């Protein structure tokens, strides 16, 4: 099936003779196929049906044309753009998404280093890694994040040190109609206003990944200078988020997941064993939002520490950012739990070439 200039996956399309002409045939566009066309709600309300309400009446959408090419086994649909949701070459509207198939996955990132001292006749090596183990069942995604390391030094008399930790257990699913992601389990407070902390509970957060690439926000970047070939480890409250090798000199890491926010710990392990450590804040200023758009985050649960011990009373948190007009955004949020309450409200302004301002 071809819709305007876009191609869908192979579909089974039946041709029937119309009710008023037994000598011709028309393609039967079923309700299931209509769901994949990406029509706006206003256009869906105009649709009428024939063949026992199983086939779309093409003329019910003014300007829509359907042409079948049996030789090429193709069906071409020409639909006025005004009836369609936003589409892009590298993005499909939610009406064309599916949940995928059940399965298991193992995501990993491994880094190894070796060093040999000729004068002392000693050698050492270390292997570290992090990743995710999970499974998909329908719309639900079950995940468990892990991290580990192995350190060995021959000639020192010290035993090989190994460590393996499960840093986070959680389950999540997409809610396309809300443009949001529902997460339950162990999580970190994802806030552009308040400090982040680890908690066990649930969150509902609008997800920019459901937007076309050119409408999404920006990911944080980490910059620094390595004195030698080094390993850079980026973590948050003990959980390794990113790990890579960099060459000597300035480095810039730009491919961190755009869902990361809050205070990050950056560790640069040099080849000679020295270590550089610094912190960076990826959400020091609340974001500006596109005109007419709303971003929101709602979370509730109980704070926990790295050992999964309760670390405070039950809390609730919520925040939003609304694009009031071109260049102006209204934002706010609050956190309440036990004897602690916090409220924030402000206005963001895009100052074009001079940056941005928040009050």
What is the average pLDDT across 228-232? Answer: 87
223: CATH: 2.60.40.3110
What is the average pLDDT across 72-91? Answer: 81
Per-residue model confidence (pLDDT) at position 209: 83
Domain's final residue, options 93, 118, 143: 93
Per-residue model confidence (pLDDT) at position 283: 45
Per-residue model confidence (pLDDT) at position 257: 67
The pLDDT-based confidence of 284 (bands split at 50, 70, 90) is very low
Domain's final residue, options 252, 283, 314: 283
- From CA 53, how far away is CA 224, in angstroms rounded? 63
What tokens appear for 307 in the block?
């050992």
Per-residue model confidence (pLDDT) at position 218: 44
* Residues 6 or more apart whose Cβ sits within 8 Å of residue 142: 134, 135, 136, 171
Kind of pairing, strands 6-7 and 14-16?
unpaired
Cα distances (Å, whole numbers) of residue 27 to 18, 32, 71, 102: 9, 14, 15, 33
Percent over 90 (pLDDT), the chain: 33
Residue 139 lies in a domain: no
Residue 262 lies in a domain: yes
Q: Does residue 255 carry a pLDDT above 60?
A: yes
> How many other CB atoms sit within 10 Å of the CB of residue 59?
9
What tokens appear for 12 in the block?
């089974």
Per-residue model confidence (pLDDT) at position 269: 92
Please write the tens of the pLDDT for every residue from 111-149.
988 887 777 777 888 899 999 999 999 999 999 999 999
State how many domains the chain has: 2
What is the average pLDDT across 280-285? Answer: 55
Per-residue model confidence (pLDDT) at position 181: 96
Percent over 70 (pLDDT), the chain: 89
More confident call, 121 vs 322: 322
Place of tokens 């480095």: 251
Helix (H) or strand (E) run with residue 33 in it: helix 31-34
Q: What is the mean pLDDT of the chain?
A: 85
Domain's final residue, options 51, 67, 93: 93
Per-residue model confidence (pLDDT) at position 156: 67
Residue 15 lies in a domain: yes
What is the average pLDDT across 224-229? Answer: 85
Please write the tens of the pLDDT for every residue from 148-191.
999 888 766 778 889 999 999 999 999 998 999 999 999 999 88
What is the average pLDDT across 29-44? Answer: 88
Which of 59-63, 287-291, 334-338 is predicted with the least confidence, judged by mean pLDDT? 287-291
What is the average pLDDT across 7-19? Answer: 84
DSSP conformation class of 213? G
Residue 33 lies in a domain: yes
Domain that holds residue 65: 2-93
Intra-chain end-to-end CA distance of the chain, in Å: 51
What tokens appear for 13 in the block?
């399309």
Residue 327 lies in a domain: no
86: CATH: 3.10.20.410
Beta strands in 71-211 (DSSP E): 74-78, 103-117, 122-137, 140-154, 161-175, 180-188, 198-206
The pLDDT-based confidence of 3 (bands split at 50, 70, 90) is confident
The pLDDT-based confidence of 259 (bands split at 50, 70, 90) is low
* Residues 6 or more apart whose Cβ sits within 8 Å of residue 248: 226, 227, 228, 229, 230
More confident call, 358 vs 188: 188
Per-residue model confidence (pLDDT) at position 228: 83
- From CA 33, how far away is CA 82, in angstroms rounded? 19
Residue 317 lies in a domain: no
* Residues 6 or more apart whose Cβ sits within 8 Å of residue 317: 189, 191, 194, 297, 298, 299, 300, 333, 334, 335, 336
- From CA 284, how far away is CA 119, in angstroms rounded? 49
Per-residue model confidence (pLDDT) at position 219: 46
Residue 134 lies in a domain: no
- From CA 199, how far away is CA 306, in angstroms rounded? 10
Residue 156 lies in a domain: no
Q: What is the DSSP string of 130-149?
A: EEEEEEEETTEEEEEEEEEE
Q: Does residue 62 carry a pLDDT above 50?
A: yes
């Amino acid at each position: 099936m071809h819709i305007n200039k876009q191609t869908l996956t192979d579909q089974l399309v039946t041709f029937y003779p119309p009710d008023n002409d037994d000598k011709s045939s028309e393609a039967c566009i079923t309700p299931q196929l209509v769901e994949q066309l990406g029509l706006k709600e206003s256009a869906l309300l105009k649709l009428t049906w024939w063949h026992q309400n199983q086939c779309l009446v093409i003329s019910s959408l003014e300007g829509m044309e359907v042409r079948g090419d049996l030789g090429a086994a193709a069906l071409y649909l020409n639909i006025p753009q005004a009836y369609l949701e936003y589409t892009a070459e590298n993005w499909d509207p939610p009406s064309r998404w599916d949940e995928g198939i059940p399965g298991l996955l193992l995501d990993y990132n491994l880094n190894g280093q070796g060093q040999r001292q000729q004068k002392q006749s000693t050698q050492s090596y270390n292997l570290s890694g992090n990743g995710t183990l999970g499974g998909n069942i329908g719309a639900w995604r079950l995940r468990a994040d892990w991290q580990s390391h192995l350190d060995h030094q021959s000639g020192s008399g010290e035993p090989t040190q190994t460590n393996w930790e499960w840093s986070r257990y959680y389950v999540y699913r997409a809610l396309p109609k809300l443009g949001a992601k529902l997460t339950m389990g162990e999580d970190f407070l994802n806030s552009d206003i308040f400090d982040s902390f680890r908690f066990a509970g649930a969150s509902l957060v609008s997800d920019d990944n459901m937007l076309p690439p050119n409408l999404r926000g920006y990911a944080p970047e980490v910059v620094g200078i390595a004195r030698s070939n080094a390993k850079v480890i980026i973590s948050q409250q003990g959980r390794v988020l990113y790990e890579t090798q960099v060459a000597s000199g300035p480095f810039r890491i730009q491919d961190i997941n755009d869902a990361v926010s809050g205070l990050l710990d950056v560790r640069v392990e040099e080849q000679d064993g020295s270590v550089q450590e610094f912190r960076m804040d990826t959400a020091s200023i609340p974001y500006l939002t596109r005109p007419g758009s709303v971003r929101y985050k709602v979370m509730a649960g109980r704070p926990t520490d790295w050992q999964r011990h309760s670390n405070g009373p039950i809390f609730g948190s919520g925040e939003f950012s609304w694009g009031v007009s071109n260049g102006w955004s209204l934002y706010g949020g609050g956190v309440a739990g036990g004897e602690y309450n916090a409220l924030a409200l402000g206005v963001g302004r895009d100052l074009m070439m001079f940056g941005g301002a928040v009050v």
